[in-house]
């Protein structure tokens, strides 16, 4: 028998001890060993934020190969909303993997895919007729939403916004705003993609209506509605810095799209599935997108993504025009159905709101006594603090990176984001307990104090 405190744990889920536990410095010796193998075997471009070898996770913790237990405030970038190795997901996946692992839905359809489509059609905003198609990643969903919008409208241009993130494939790199690290040196990028200014209240000071007028003017003059297939936007911009547009901005853009027969696409890959304290962030703003892209939180960690929207738009594509070998894989669909059951029946939307109240409460209290926090914003379990040079709005990326690094060294996983890299974001799994969340915030606050 090995010492259970130091033996790598291979069973995760909410049964794991919910505690922060540091048995070694981060990274410990076993993690170091894996990171050395990573450096030798994995392409240098694939980075990592937390220098550990993960062996189990669940509830609100991640266990590493040295027996350390880290508080998870990142959910693998907003993926494990239901929690890692959620019992419903484990059970459904185990059952499915033993039944069949793949047929290709385009060859032999199966119920799981159809049931996920039905659930998405029911859960996404709007009571109009909807249809869905399933894919593997957020980027692939975005690519397909653009394909569908182009086919439906017979137009080519697509508008994305400043600070947008939509993926790393060629078309989605073109839609993504930030050069480093996502685009630099990887061009040429897909054509007919145009960029409009977004609403960023902390920096532009504009009302939603003013910001929308500015954006629509750019779209109208530089693209022209007659050429425009789609406008795509994240209702709360994720990688760009958890930017919450001013009230009315999204509504005005969506209304302009409706008037001009432009497909309005909400990219809810990061905001979807209870994350923001609503099943979809569009609901927070009272918008009903024509198409919604989803991924991440949909399947408790298994790769699945979707485009859901107006049936007339979704059905505009010729037979055989949409698909892919793995899209809507049966195991991923089983995981999605189990996750959706958890979101709907385990009170996770409400839990995201409680987490949001804690995050916003603590962070605004810190902000009140620390001029280095310029802005605190977000909704539900998607909250961020933007760091600035005191008394200015000048980004302080070094401070954000330093605080995140110090928190990780103390066993708390926090991620940064933002076009200027000066934002620390909080995306805890909705399965985290109050005590653990509070302790994680204590550690971040202490790291800030010492920075
Ligand atoms: N749309 C709104 O947030 C993925 C990317 C992390 P994929 N965001 C995390 C990284 O550095 O690659 C994302 C998103 C929004 C699309 C995507 C893309 O989703 O599943 O990573 O392809």
* SS3 track for 181-218: CCCCCCCCCCCCEEEECCCCHHHHCCCHHHHHHHHHHH
Residue 385 has pLDDT above 80, yes or no: yes
**Centre of ligand 1 from the C-alpha of residue 7, in Å:** 34
Domain map of the chain by residue range? 29-85+348-450, 88-345
Residue 3 has pLDDT above 90, yes or no: no
CATH 3.40.50.300 fits 29-85+348-450, yes or no: no
Residue 167 CA: nearest ligand 1 atom is 18
Q: Which residues of 293-308 are buried (b: 16+ CB within 10 A; e: fewer)?
A: bbbbbbbbbbbbbbbb
- Indicate which residue's Cα is closest to atom 9 of ligand 1: 77
CA separation for the pair 53, 48 (Å, rounded): 11
The predicted-structure confidence for 94-151, as pLDDT tens digits, reads as follows: 999 999 999 999 999 999 999 999 999 999 999 999 999 999 999 999 999 999 999 9
Residue 177 has pLDDT above 70, yes or no: yes
User: How would you class 194 by CB atoms within 10 Å of its CB: exposed for 0-12, middle for 13-18, buried for 19 or more?
Assistant: middle
Question: Which position has the token pair 């993130």?
Answer: 165
Residue 324 has pLDDT above 90, yes or no: yes
Residue 181 CA: nearest ligand 1 atom is 11
Write the CA distances from 23 to 2, 18, 57, 354, 434, integer angstroms: 15, 15, 17, 31, 23
- Indicate which residue's Cα is closest to atom 19 of ligand 1: 138
The predicted-structure confidence for 415-441, as pLDDT tens digits, reads as follows: 999 999 999 999 999 999 999 999 999
Residue 268 CA: nearest ligand 1 atom is 2
**Centre of ligand 1 from the C-alpha of residue 241, in Å:** 13
Give the pLDDT band of residue 8 (cuts 50, 70, 90).
Answer: low
∠ CA 127-128-132, nearest 5°, is 100
Q: Is 333 helix (H, G, I), strand (E, B) or coil?
A: helix
**Centre of ligand 1 from the C-alpha of residue 392, in Å:** 30
User: What percentage of the chain carries pLDDT values higher than 90?
Assistant: 98
The secondary structure of residue 235, as a DSSP letter, is: S
The predicted-structure confidence for 52-108, as pLDDT tens digits, reads as follows: 999 999 999 999 999 999 999 999 999 999 999 999 999 999 999 999 999 999 999
CB 53 within 8 A of CB 30: yes
**Centre of ligand 1 from the C-alpha of residue 78, in Å:** 10
- Indicate which residue's Cα is closest to atom 5 of ligand 1: 167
The predicted-structure confidence for 356-375, as pLDDT tens digits, reads as follows: 999 999 999 999 999 999 99
Report, as an integer, the average pLDDT of 244-265: 98
Question: Which position has the token pair 């059951």?
Answer: 341
**Centre of ligand 1 from the C-alpha of residue 140, in Å:** 10
Tell me the best of 145, 173, 238 to mutate to test the pocket of ligand 1, counting ligand atoms within 8 Å of each CB and taking the most.
238
- Indicate which residue's Cα is closest to atom 6 of ligand 1: 77
**Centre of ligand 1 from the C-alpha of residue 451, in Å:** 30
Residue 237 CA: nearest ligand 1 atom is 2
Residue 140 CA: nearest ligand 1 atom is 22
Report, as an integer, the average pLDDT of 212-224: 98
**Centre of ligand 1 from the C-alpha of residue 263, in Å:** 21
Tell me the best of 144, 167, 174 to mutate to test the pocket of ligand 1, counting ligand atoms within 8 Å of each CB and taking the most.
167
Residue 136 CA: nearest ligand 1 atom is 20
Tell me the best of 296, 417, 425 to mutate to test the pocket of ligand 1, counting ligand atoms within 8 Å of each CB and taking the most.
296
CA separation for the pair 395, 200 (Å, rounded): 14
Report, as an integer, the average pLDDT of 250-273: 98
CATH 3.40.640.10 fits 88-345, yes or no: yes
- Indicate which residue's Cα is closest to atom 7 of ligand 1: 138
Sign of the Cα pseudo-torsion (177, 208, 388, 81, in order): negative
Tell me the best of 78, 139, 234 to mutate to test the pocket of ligand 1, counting ligand atoms within 8 Å of each CB and taking the most.
139
Other C-beta atoms closer than 10 Å to the C-beta of 99 total 12
- Dmax over CA atoms of the chain, in Å, equals 72
Tokens linked to 431: 């399965």
The predicted-structure confidence for 396-414, as pLDDT tens digits, reads as follows: 999 999 999 999 999 999 9
**Centre of ligand 1 from the C-alpha of residue 294, in Å:** 10
Give the pLDDT band of residue 36 (cuts 50, 70, 90).
Answer: very high
User: What percentage of the chain carries pLDDT values higher than 70?
Assistant: 98
**Centre of ligand 1 from the C-alpha of residue 397, in Å:** 21
Q: Spell out which residues line ligand 1, taking CB within 6 angstroms.
A: 77, 137-139, 142, 165-168, 234, 238-239, 267, 269-270, 295
Residue 182 CA: nearest ligand 1 atom is 11
**Centre of ligand 1 from the C-alpha of residue 333, in Å:** 19
pTM: 0.97
CA separation for the pair 201, 250 (Å, rounded): 13
**Centre of ligand 1 from the C-alpha of residue 138, in Å:** 6
């Amino acid at each position: 028998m090995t010492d259970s405190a130091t033996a790598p744990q291979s069973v995760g889920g909410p049964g794991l001890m919910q505690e922060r536990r540091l048995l070694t410095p981060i990274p410990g010796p076993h993690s170091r060993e894996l990171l050395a193998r990573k450096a030798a075997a994995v392409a240098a471009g694939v980075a990592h934020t937390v220098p550990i070898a993960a062996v189990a996770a669940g509830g609100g913790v991640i266990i590493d190969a040295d027996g350390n237990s880290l508080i998870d405030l990142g959910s693998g970038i907003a993926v494990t909303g239901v929690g890692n190795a959620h019992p419903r997901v484990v059970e459904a996946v185990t059952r499915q993997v033993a039944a069949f692992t793949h047929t290709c839905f385009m060859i032999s359809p199966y119920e799981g895919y159809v049931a996920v489509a039905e659930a998405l059609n029911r859960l996404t905003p709007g009571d109009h007729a909807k249809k869905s198609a399933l894919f593997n990643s957020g980027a692939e969903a975005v690519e397909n939403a653009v394909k569908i919008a182009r086919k439906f409208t017979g137009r080519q241009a697509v508008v994305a916004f400043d600070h947008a993130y939509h993926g790393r494939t060629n078309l989605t790199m073109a839609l993504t705003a930030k050069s480093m690290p996502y685009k630099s040196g990887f061009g040429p990028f897909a054509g007919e993609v145009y960029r409009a200014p977004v609403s960023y209240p902390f920096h532009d000071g504009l009302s939603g209506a003013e910001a929308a007028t500015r954006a629509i003017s750019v779209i109208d003059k530089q693209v022209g509605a007659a050429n425009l297939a789609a406008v795509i936007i994240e209702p709360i911009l994720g990688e760009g810095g958890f930017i919450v547009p001013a009230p009315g901005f999204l509504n005005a853009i969506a209304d302009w799209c409706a008037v001009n027969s432009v497909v309005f696409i909400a990219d809810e890959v990061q905001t979807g599935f209870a994350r923001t304290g609503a099943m979809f962030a569009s609901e927070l703003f009272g918008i009903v997108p024509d198409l919604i892209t989803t991924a991440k939180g949909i399947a408790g960690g298994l790769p699945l993504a979707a485009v859901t929207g107006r049936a007339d738009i979704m059905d505009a594509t010729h037979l055989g025009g949409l698909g892919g070998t793995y899209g809507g894989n049966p195991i991923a669909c089983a995981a999605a159905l189990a996750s959706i059951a958890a979101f709907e029946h385990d009170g996770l939307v409400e839990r995201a709101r409680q987490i949001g109240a804690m995050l916003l409460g603590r962070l605004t209290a810190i902000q009140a006594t620390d001029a280095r926090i310029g802005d605190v914003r977000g909704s539900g379990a998607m909250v961020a603090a933007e760091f600035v040079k005191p008394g200015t709005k000048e980004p302080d990326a070094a401070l954000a990176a330093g605080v995140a690094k110090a928190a990780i060294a103390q066993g708390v996983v926090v991620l940064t984001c933002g076009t200027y890299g000066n934002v620390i974001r909080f995306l805890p799994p909705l399965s985290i307990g109050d005590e653990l969340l509070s302790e994680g915030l204590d550690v971040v606050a202490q790291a800030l104090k010492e920075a």
